[in-house]
Structure 1
Amino acid sequence: MRSVRDKYIVLFAVCLASVVLPLDFSGAAAATPAIARALRGSPTAVTWIVNSFMLAFGSTVMAAGALADVYGRKRIFAIGIASFVATSVAVSFAPSVAWLDAFRVGQGLAAACTLSGGSAALAQEFDGPERARAFSLLGTTFGLGLAFGPSLGGVLLGVLGWRSVFLSGAIVGVVSLAFAIPTMRESRDPNARGVDGPGTATFTAALALFTFALIEAPARGWTSLPVLGLFGAAALALVAFVQIERHAAHPMLDLSLFRYPRFVGVQALPIATACCYVVLLILLPIRFIGIEGHDEVTAGTTMLALSAPMLVVPFAVATCTRWISPGTLSAAGLVLAAGGLVWLGRIAPGAPVATMAKPMLLIGFGTSAPWGLMDGLSVSVVPKERAGMATGIFGTTRIAGESIALAATRAALATMIGARIPHPEMAQSVAAGDLLHAGGDSAIMLFAYGDAFRMLCNGLAVLTLASALVVLVFLSGASLVDEKARRDEIDEHPNLG
């Protein structure tokens, strides 16, 4: 008989890992200006410090889940977190930005194994309402890692330097591994068919080509032949992926899950939070340090206004689900976040940090509402038998969506700055947060950045409101322990009842 203590030790170990993975992603944003100064990387190479990690992470998380089903959830989790520790140490001693970007790809692959193996292990430990609560806690800790990455990164930068940002992740990974190995049970899926090679290859190609096109577009031009070719190749790879998954006997992505309207609604939540929150975790530290000239500690402490609500609001909102549906609560939070984005965009560079903190606090408060609910919803709006696939799809939507949102917003910001500054190299440097070495009149550069940032925030607010509407329509009646999907499955397959 499995003891309650052992189950919660496993939960602690997986949640600890889920804190450090996104912390390493968002914490790297605060370190980007310092890395650029220390290693003298080009604006494009510096952009890949964050994007390479997210690209590798998002494109392989479902394949890692398939490996966990075949070779064991505990084994894949252990390999993932151990590899993450090793690559974190390698990143911290990288001699150049090119080597650092390469090691960040390794970190992303390790993160995919860690998250997939850990999530699958939790699904075996918990059932019913306990499973929904466990996954809600997993999502909240993931959010805390994202939210506090820039703040912790800023403090570490100011005290110990940029290499300490990645070394701290290695230390937390070792602690997670120490708790997981003695306690986590090994489990496999006896019916697993292995990795869907063609599906994985085409999905990775689509995501990589699309991201590369977004990064190259501001410098080469959105209508240039190379960029259009990259977008076209990405579209072809995506079409090939869908066709492969539709006809595969054991697909990596079961498209039939999208016949559940509530499952479709759940996928809108990570897309919305990527637009209204995650991109700010990357853009704001770069603005504070590279554009406005604040020191790293000041930038990190200012980011607490965005992250502090994650400590309280998700748990308070989870309590409110006794009386109000998660979909309604999530949509209301997204509306607040959209309002905060519009407010934030109106604040010009150089304003006091206290002025910036007010809209940041509103955005953090609004985003925290769906953040603590969406992981639990992802496994509750489909039949229990499909929970594993649903978790994999949701994780892919979250991580790949964040990767695309980040690349798209940085490309949009660089393009809008470039429309105001006629020198492409200067515009690229300003967009990357390197105002000091951009050259030209700093007042003009600041005005161009501020105007572009305002337009970007307005666009993100529109996307957030559109997502809120989708969530309200599809999830207004959903609950964290949703029996409707189970009844639907029984109606379709009576033998399951």
Structure 2
Amino acid sequence: MNNPHPLPDPYPDPQRWIILFSVCLAGLIMPINFTGPAVSLPAIATSLGGSVVALSWVTNAFMLTFGCSLMIAGALADRFGRKRVFISGLAVLTLSSLVMLMVQDIIAFDLIRALQGVAAAAAFAGGTAGLAQVFDGTERAKAFSLLGTTFGIGLAFGPLLAGFLVQHFDWRAIFISVSLFSAIALFAGIRYMHESRDPAAAKLDWPGAATFTLALTLLTYAVLQAPDSGWSNPEVIALFSGALLFMIAFVVIENRVRRPMLDLSLFRYPRFVGVQFLAAAPAYSYVVLLVLLPLRFIGIEGYGTLEAGIVMFALSAPMLILPLLAGMLAHRFSAGIISSLGLLICAFGLLWLAQYAPGQPFLLLILPLLTIGCGISLPWGLMDGLAVSVVPKDRAGMATGIFSTVRVAGEGIALAVVGALLAALVEQHLPGSPLANAAAGAHRLAMGDLQQAAALLNVDTAALKQSYEAAFQGLLYILALTTAISAGIVFIFLRHASPSPIVPSQTTNAQSLAERSTE
């Protein structure tokens, strides 16, 4: 029987669209806040100085804390209020970006970047969970599809915007733009979003969250420190040992707690294991290039930041279109087959890119970069739906939580591992007999600091460019092989899998996180 006096819609038009605008703007900030500092890293190094390890944390600190905090932020949003967590994250992001304008040393910069990762996770988790309260049915699918498109715009145009700002103003202009976008989203959220929470939300698994975060932090720091100090250095060994102990402690805690942060029993499902391989694949086939290529273009090849941003646009531009196409193809073909094909295309693009030595006209790089972007866009558009569809329906929320953590935290670890691998390859290709400061010089060269590497190694820059060329080519071959192997694993585990039809994800696991928060 229909209610003769229905309750008024708490989110009438156009209020709900302003809320969508606020959350989409917050989603736009995330990729800009990652790709922008990556493009401007040479300018940041010139301004603030710092060791290679400290400079590596410019990107790694944000990605690591963002990945580790996503599930914690989602649980806090359910328990204490989605609007409160969303607003708190945006407020910290706004203020911390303004503080960046006054930073004078790289250590303070890295600490603020870590804080920004936590704030971004809060804004993202709170915003997407809140958005799920505003829209229902097909409108919800359209809203999250638009959020995915916005994330793709940030990935595609972030390097271009950063290059323009650094070339015409200063690297600090990037954080001014982030602060401006955050402030607009903040005020819109304060004014129009209503508070909501899950009255049945459980207490947060703090021991699990703490041990997991410490394990990833120590592992990342060990990988970053090893190229400078040596893999057999006692400090590096202690860091790896600490990471292993905390991860063991995490597994023990999650197997004993009543409501764990990560339900490890899901790994009993073979197709769920395949989804985790798929979640990790973009990290080393695509995400690492967002950091390494600007360092190559600006530091080694001498491009301006704007030129580098234009070239990087070719890498991410397919994200604007192809994830939608992947969703359409999934109605006719297995999502696992489409994802495997995309990874193979990406591997081919990496091999193609390996044929171009530094110094080539940058227009020649556009086609291989487009190929990589096209290849990775196919699985990217299907991953979130697959994360939900490969486990029983009542386990979907936890499945997306594990998927989100593997995906984002894996990107931070991949950045550290691939950066260390490039430094090791550079050291192998250095000219002449064993050089003094070889490890430190190779690490500098891998970070795109050609002049400092030349000063440390007492080798002319032309010879160092050749060493870098050989090392980068070898790295691309390794990444291509790893991506191709991942394609095979994904095909084996997921060739019959199909994504959930209600999740037309493009560039982010936004809707999956929201579904978890509304269980």
Does structure 2 retain, via aligned residues, the 8 Å contact 1:132–1:377? Answer: no
Q: Among 125, 130, 137, which residue is 1:121 paired with?
A: 130
Q: Among 261, 268, 278, which residue is 2:277 paired with?
A: 268
Which residue identity is paired with 1:361? L
Does structure 1 retain, via aligned residues, the 8 Å contact 2:36–2:161? Answer: yes
Structure 2 counterpart of 1:163: 172
Structure 1 counterpart of 2:201: 192
Distance 2:253 2:474 in 1: 39
Structure 2 counterpart of 1:433: 448
Distance 2:405 2:477 in 1: 27
Structure 2 counterpart of 1:478: 497
Does structure 2 retain, via aligned residues, the 8 Å contact 1:89–1:167? Answer: yes
Structure 1 counterpart of 2:375: 366
Q: Among 217, 222, 226, which residue is 2:231 paired with?
A: 222
Same amino acid, percent of matched pairs: 50
**Greater Cα offset, 265-274 or 9-18:** 9-18
Which residue identity is paired with 2:369? M
Structure 2 counterpart of 1:448: 467
Structure 1 counterpart of 2:90: 81
Does structure 2 retain, via aligned residues, the 8 Å contact 1:199–1:245? Answer: yes
Distance 2:132 2:256 in 1: 28
Q: What is the correspondence of 1:49-60 to structure 2 with a 5 Å cutoff?
A: 49-60=58-69
CA 1:327/1:181 → structure 2, altered by over 3 Å: closer, same or farther? farther
Distance 1:407 1:137 in 2: 32
Q: Does 2:311 align with 1:307?
A: no
Unaligned ranges ≥5, structure 2: 1-8, 503-519
Q: Among 178, 185, 206, which residue is 2:187 paired with?
A: 178
| 1:480 positional shift | 3.3
Structure 1 counterpart of 2:399: 390
CA distances 1:176-205 after superposition (whole Å, capped 9, x unpaired): 223333333322222222221111110011
What SS is found at the alignment partner of 2:218? helix
Structure 2 counterpart of 1:64: 73
Structure 1 counterpart of 2:4: none
Does structure 2 retain, via aligned residues, the 8 Å contact 1:333–1:367? Answer: yes
Unaligned ranges ≥5, structure 1: 484-497
What SS is found at the alignment partner of 1:114? helix
Structure 2 counterpart of 1:457: 476
What SS is found at the alignment partner of 1:436? helix
**Greater Cα offset, 52-61 or 183-192:** 183-192
CA distances 1:135-194 after superposition (whole Å, capped 9, x unpaired): 555444334323432222111111111001111111111222233333333222222222
CA 1:10/1:267 → structure 2, altered by over 3 Å: closer, same or farther? farther
Structure 1 counterpart of 2:511: none
Q: What is the correspondence of 1:36-435 to structure 2 with a 5 Å cutoff?
A: 36-126=45-135, 134-421=143-430, 422=435, 423-435=438-450
CA 1:77/1:276 → structure 2, altered by over 3 Å: closer, same or farther? same
CA 1:232/1:133 → structure 2, altered by over 3 Å: closer, same or farther? farther
Distance 1:116 1:237 in 2: 25
CA distances 1:65-121 after superposition (whole Å, capped 9, x unpaired): 221111011110111111111111112331111211111111011012112212322
Distance 2:389 2:144 in 1: 10
CA distances 1:449-494 after superposition (whole Å, capped 9, x unpaired): 11111111111112212222232233333333369xxxxxxxxxxx
**Greater Cα offset, 183-192 or 373-382:** 373-382
Distance 1:59 1:437 in 2: 34
Structure 2 counterpart of 1:493: none
Does structure 2 retain, via aligned residues, the 8 Å contact 1:116–1:392? Answer: no
Which residue identity is paired with 2:426? I
Structure 1 counterpart of 2:507: none
| 1:122 positional shift | 3.4
Which residue identity is paired with 1:45? A
Distance 2:380 2:293 in 1: 20
Distance 1:454 1:74 in 2: 47
Which residue identity is paired with 1:472? F
Which residue identity is paired with 1:234? A
What SS is found at the alignment partner of 2:303? coil
Which residue identity is paired with 2:491? L
Distance 2:215 2:403 in 1: 18
Q: Does 2:19 align with 1:22?
A: no
TM-score, normalised relative to structure 2 = 0.88
**Greater Cα offset, 5-14 or 363-372:** 5-14
Distance 2:15 2:253 in 1: 40
Which residue identity is paired with 2:86? F
**Greater Cα offset, 17-26 or 143-152:** 143-152
> RMSD between aligned alpha carbons?
2.1
CA 1:184/1:314 → structure 2, altered by over 3 Å: closer, same or farther? same
Distance 1:437 1:308 in 2: 33
Structure 2 counterpart of 1:491: none
Distance 1:141 1:231 in 2: 38
**Greater Cα offset, 407-416 or 187-196:** 187-196
- Residues matched between the structures, number: 483
What SS is found at the alignment partner of 2:452? coil
Which residue identity is paired with 1:339? F
What SS is found at the alignment partner of 1:252? coil
Does structure 2 retain, via aligned residues, the 8 Å contact 1:136–1:374? Answer: no
What SS is found at the alignment partner of 2:153? helix
Distance 2:247 2:385 in 1: 28
**Greater Cα offset, 419-428 or 210-219:** 419-428
Does structure 2 retain, via aligned residues, the 8 Å contact 1:136–1:375? Answer: no
TM-score, normalised relative to structure 1 = 0.92
Does structure 2 retain, via aligned residues, the 8 Å contact 1:132–1:376? Answer: no
Does structure 2 retain, via aligned residues, the 8 Å contact 1:140–1:372? Answer: no
**Greater Cα offset, 422-431 or 43-52:** 422-431
CA distances 1:324-368 after superposition (whole Å, capped 9, x unpaired): 232222221111001111111221111111122221110011111
Does structure 1 retain, via aligned residues, the 8 Å contact 2:152–2:320? Answer: no
| 1:52 positional shift | 1.3
CA 1:381/1:180 → structure 2, altered by over 3 Å: closer, same or farther? farther
Does structure 1 retain, via aligned residues, the 8 Å contact 2:298–2:304? Answer: yes
